[in-house]
Amino acid sequence: MNYTQNLFCDSIKTQSSNWNDETYQSTFWHTSAHLLAYALEELYPGIKLGTGPAIENGFYYDVDFGEYSFTDKDFKKVEQKMQELAKKGFENVRKEVSKKDAISFFKQKGDTYKLEILEGLEDGTITFYETGQFTDLCSGPHIVNTSLIKAIKLTNIAGAYWRGDEKNKMLTRVYGITFPEKELLSEYLLNLEEAKKRDHRKLGKELDLFYFDEEVGMGLPLWAPKGEALRQNLIEFLKKIQRKAGYQHVASPHIGKKELYVTSGHYTKYGQDAYQPIKTPAENEEFFLKPMNCPHHCKIYAAKPKSYRELPVKYAEFGTVYRYEQHGELHGLTRVRGFTQDDAHIYCRPDQLKDEFLKVVDLVNLVYGKLGFSEFKTQISLRDPNNKDKYLGTDEMWDLAEKAIVEATQERGMKTTTKEGEAAFYGPKLDFMVRDAIGRKWQIGTIQVDYMMPENFDLTYTGSDNQKHRPVMIHRALFGSMERFIALLIENTGGKFPVWLAPTKAIVLPISEVFEEYAQQLANEINHALDLDIEVDLRNEKIGKKIREAQLQKIPYMLIVGEQEMNSKTVSVRKRDENTSKKIVMDDFIKLLKIEVA
């Protein structure tokens, strides 16, 4: 409590200067969630409250409104009530409460959700926070005084199953965001409007990249031809880089026997939350949709004996995996149930570990720089020291793995944050985070050090002493999920992909049908020279409409041809963001395009 007071109870001026600190923002928004709940109880007596955490941008509270009807039309009066309460300058007072007294308090209120939470808490660990007349079950921390909250906006409502379980009641999740200054809210709302224009779900349809269909299945994207062209451009880009870095590309099936994932340890940790087994006609034979690629790669490694001279062995695969995400967590391409990972696994000797780890870090910088993600944050994710049962392996294995990551990041001078409890169950990792168009943080790439899986699969190599030794395994994904990466790429570029990545790099637009043959001839010339697939718009439409639609499709180059161009054997080139065209000879345009697609 003293730490919270010292950090967060300074003047508004000090608060604003701290605003970019993530811990500070989270605490500010946690208090705002309590303020929202306070206002809702004042306006809707008798409602039942679930939980109300801070999130990446703002906060929410899950509420059972009972017989009340609550829609976004009610936002304004709730905002006004929150503002009224904030101005009263209530202090947030922390109190330690016995389990018996806590149960008695919420029984009197009839708050069944809080009572359910209390069932899982131990006596002596329970705290309340009081804000004016409002009391909530909470461990904190909070800002000390509500008067620091100056700007308030409710942003959305959605349905959310209690505790994320579809068997439980659907509650109303009320989202909001607050700031210490009105100017910060205005800036956020402007960015939000811009983000709506860049929303990958909206642009995905407009640019004919991908679709979802409930008959196919929720969270299972369908890639249209242009979307698949975008995916393949990314895949070929990374394959070329990986080959130069010594990776060998492999492929594995979409299913695997249950025993495979029992051996790897994944079944014990995730089996109940995965797609359920596929049963075959054979007795007691079960398969699972592949939830990850690493066990399959371990089997490829184990297929032939390895010498220490052969290490490191690097396997890479663009492998599609399947995980049963909860309905309420699905969101466009950023959270899906079937996705492709640019997965790679490096099997190396212990003395090679740090060097190989650093090579992957350098690969990340190269790839992200090329794709415009020059600003990203790195997080060292460690196991929870107070809950080691969640993880596989010995303390010695974990100490070695964590030390390797820390030393590697220090050697590169990387600025990292450290989060306990965020490690994979088999090893610590270095995660790469980027922000989307509205500032939400997403993990994309990851590098993980694993001593455990080589142990589980009994992987070995013959050392210089002619004895069997255990390799260390590095799990590595640069894009992470191809789907999530493409979603962020769409929003980061607004759909205006660089020429080399764009599904359609250029389109030839004949002014009339008289020039269609010449237009097709130009397209064939480019396709032959650069091995591309340049489109020709042969519709019977006015040239102005063709140009507008090509711009809406964000095609980098429009090649306009008419009588002058045909007679002079030239083409009028118009870029997607320009209002005029420039006439050049075809050879010069091919040279220009060759440079841009390289």
**Domain segments of the chain as ranges:** 2-198, 219-493, 506-597
E-assigned strands of 83-150? 92-96, 127-131, 134-137
Burial of 343 (0-12, 13-18, 19+ CB in 10 A): buried
Rounded to whole angstroms, how far apart are CA atoms 329 and 120?
Answer: 24
Task: Of 408, 418, 413, give the one whose Cα is nearest residue 379.
Answer: 418
Catalytic residue among 48, 150, 345, 383: 345
- What class, spelled out in words, does domain 2-198 have in CATH? alpha beta
In whole angstroms, how far apart are CA 482 and each of 436, 478, 489, 547?
Answer: 15, 9, 10, 31
Distance CA 538, CA 403 (A): 62
pLDDT attached to residue 1: 24
pLDDT in tens, the chain (598 residues): 222 232 333 333 334 457 888 889 999 999 999 999 999 999 999 999 999 999 988 999 999 999 999 999 999 999 999 999 999 999 999 999 999 999 999 999 989 999 999 998 888 889 999 999 999 999 889 998 999 999 999 999 999 999 888 889 999 999 999 999 999 999 999 888 888 888 999 999 999 999 999 999 999 999 999 999 999 999 999 999 999 999 999 999 999 999 999 999 888 776 666 788 888 898 889 999 998 999 999 999 999 999 999 999 999 999 999 988 887 788 899 999 999 999 999 999 999 999 999 999 999 989 988 888 877 788 888 888 888 877 777 888 888 888 888 888 888 888 888 888 878 777 888 888 887 666 667 788 899 988 889 999 999 999 999 999 999 999 999 999 999 999 999 998 999 999 999 999 999 999 999 999 999 999 999 999 998 889 999 999 999 999 999 999 999 999 999 999 999 989 999 999 898 999 999 899 999 999 998 8
- Residues in Cβ contact with 237 at an 8 Å cutoff, skipping those fewer than 6 apart: 370, 500, 501
In this structure, which topology does domain 219-493 adopt according to CATH? BirA Bifunctional Protein; domain 2 (3.30.930)
Distances (CA, A) of 31 to 125, 176, 308: 20, 12, 56
Q: Catalytic pick from 200, 290, 323, 335?
A: 323
Distant-in-sequence contacts of 66-72, Cβ < 8 A, 24+ apart: 68/44, 70/44, 70/157, 70/172, 70/174, 71/157, 72/154, 72/156, 72/157
243 included as an active-site residue: no
Active site residue 343: yes
CA-to-CA distance for 296 and 298, rounded, in angstroms? 5
Over the range 328-337, which residues count as b (16 or more CB within 10 Å of their CB) and which as e? eeeebbbbbb
Q: Is 341 a catalytic residue?
A: yes
CATH 3.30.300.30 fits 506-597, yes or no: no
Out of 114, 200, 242, 294, the active site residue is: 294
pLDDT computed for residue 83 by the predictor: 96
Dihedral (Cα; 282, 286, 287, 288), 10-degree rounding: 160
The pLDDT value given to residue 267: 84
Confirm whether 2-198 and 219-493 share one CATH topology. Answer: no
Judge contact between 24 and 18, C-beta under 8 A: yes
Determine contact, residues 216/283, Cβ cutoff 8 Å.
no
The answer to whether residue 64 is catalytic is no
Q: How far apart are CA 498 and CA 495, in angstroms?
A: 9
* Torsion (CA) 37, 42, 48, 53 in degrees, nearest 10: 0
| Catalytic residue flag (residue 475) | yes
Secondary structure (DSSP) of 289-355? E-S-SHHHHHHHHHTS--BTTTPPEEEEEEEEEE----GGG-BTTTB-SEEEEEEEEEEE-GGGHHH
299 labelled catalytic? no
Which 3 state secondary structure label does DSSP give 528? helix
Catalytic residue among 231, 475, 484, 546: 475
SS3 letters for 411-469? Answer: HCCCCEEEEECCCECCECEEEEEEECCCCCEEEEEEEEEECHHHHHCCCCEECCCCCEE
Catalytic residue among 62, 343, 436, 537: 343
Tell me, what's the pLDDT at 349?
A: 95
Please identify which of the residues 15, 341, 352, 448 carries the catalytic annotation.
341
Task: Write down the residue that tokens 């690629």 correspond to.
Answer: 293
Give the count of alpha carbons within 13 A of 365, CB side only: 9
| 232 is annotated as an active-site residue | no
Cα 577 to Cα 205, 283, 395, 548: the distances in Å are 21, 63, 57, 11
CB 511 within 8 A of CB 544: no
Instruction: Supply the angle between the helices 353-370 and 225-244 in degrees, to the nearest 10.
Output: 140
Quickly tell me which residue has 């992470």 as its tokens.
480
Among candidates 393, 381, 380, 454, which has minimal Cα distance to 269?
393
Joined together, the tokens standing for residue 96 give 């330690």
Joined together, the tokens standing for residue 464 give: 């210089």
- Catalytic one of 429, 476, 546, 554: 429
